[in-house]
Amino acid sequence: MALMQSRTAHSEQLRAASLRVTQPRLAVLDTVTENPHADTETVYRIVRESLPVVSRQAVYDVLAALTTAGLLRRIQPSGTVARYETRVGDNHHHVVCRSCGVIADVDCAVGEAPCLDASQAHGFSIDEAEVVYWGICPGCSAPQSSRPRS
Amino acid sequence: MALMQSRTAHSEQLRAASLRVTQPRLAVLDTVTENPHADTETVYRIVRESLPVVSRQAVYDVLAALTTAGLLRRIQPSGTVARYETRVGDNHHHVVCRSCGVIADVDCAVGEAPCLDASQAHGFSIDEAEVVYWGICPGCSAPQSSRPRS
DNA sequence: CTTTTTGCAAATGATTTGCATTAAC
DNA sequence: GTTAATGCAAATCATTTGCAAAAAG
């Protein structure tokens, strides 16, 4: 039922964005909703479990369309592949584990977006501050005994 | 003479890092010093002006070696190619123009690195905060008359 | 001379492009 | 019926890998 609910909500989201409601788009929205920070390949794999006809290119197209429409947010920490999440519009950042790559959300430490002291912006008009914290997650810093194999 | 000076200094830097002093490495250090935020292809092109034998793979190798040794810092804002700079060790960030891609340095607004309110770090032990401000640079926001063609 | 670097070629992997077909509206 | 989406195949582009040849110490 949670699925049915989200499906209805997602259809409305698509219509509100003047996007046609298609199975691939609903499946991608469902997948990213249930798997925040999933990368394209993961989305592709999961979508195909329920909708085996979808092509990888369709997933790329859908992710791009939904991101442009503001339904998804695309994040891509340095040297990593693109990932997507449904939390849009708020000013939150991310913490990434150098070891396993897991990502967690972090609310902005400063407050209002874009959280910059604009005093020395070199004349740029800044509209977004993208912050990535790098570190080691609790799982990876735990003693090896409790978490073998890297 | 500025060049000769930097060459000498760069040789010492390499030796201090236990790296062999080679023409490609000196040329890459010179190039990045004179062209902060240059990407790999730009470094390759400029290096070959003075040292035409250098291969693209050698440039990749050198940039990686120098970055690992701490002589260069690698930055890569979302969706862009890797860029390099010689300012290492300080906690500065970057502002990127969405229109022309130009990058400028910005000192950290908070102060000490990593500038994070660790209150909600989800148990991560964080060692670096990477901040990218996105906006429009003065040149691109100027009236078209003064800066035609994009 | 020994080890590190470089050159060269080929592979990889994410992402994009072009076009015909299909599905929404 | 129109127009927007998708499927499919091929292309692109930054970057990596493997190994032999060359150069640094």
Q: How far apart are the first and last CA of chain A?
A: 38
- What integer is the mean pLDDT of A112-135? 76
| Amino acid of residue A30 | D
Nucleic chain C contacts, protein chain B, residues 62-121, CB cut-off 7 A: 62, 65
Q: How many CB atoms lie within 10 A of CB A150?
A: 7
Which sign does the torsion angle of CA B100, B101, B105, B106 carry?
positive
Q: What is the pLDDT of residue A150?
A: 34
- Is A108 within 8 Å of chain B by CB? no
Q: What is the pLDDT of residue B2?
A: 56
Q: What is the pLDDT of residue B150?
A: 34
CA distance A88 to B116: 22
Task: Give Cα A114 distance to the centre of its chain.
Answer: 19
CA distance A116 to A88: 19
pTM, whole model, 2 decimals? Answer: 0.86
Contacts of A116 in chain B (CB under 8 A): 106, 109, 133
Option in B110, B124, B132 nearest A135 (CB): B124
What are A27-75's pLDDT values in tens digits? Answer: 999 999 999 999 999 999 999 999 999 999 999 999 999 999 999 999 9
Q: Phi then psi for B65, rounded to 5 degrees?
A: -65, -45
Q: What is the pLDDT of residue B142?
A: 73
Residues 6+ apart with CB under 8 A from A71: A13, A14, A17, A29, A86, A88
Mutation target vs A (from B80, B95, B107; most A CBs, 10 A cutoff): B95
- Confidence bin at B110 (pLDDT 50/70/90): low
Mutation target vs A (from B63, B92, B124; most A CBs, 10 A cutoff): B124
Contact B123 A133 (CB under 8 A): no
Name the residue among A136, A131, A91 with its Cα closest to residue A111: A91
CA distance B95 to A122: 9
Identify, with chain letter, the residue nearest to nucleotide D24 (CA–C1'): B20
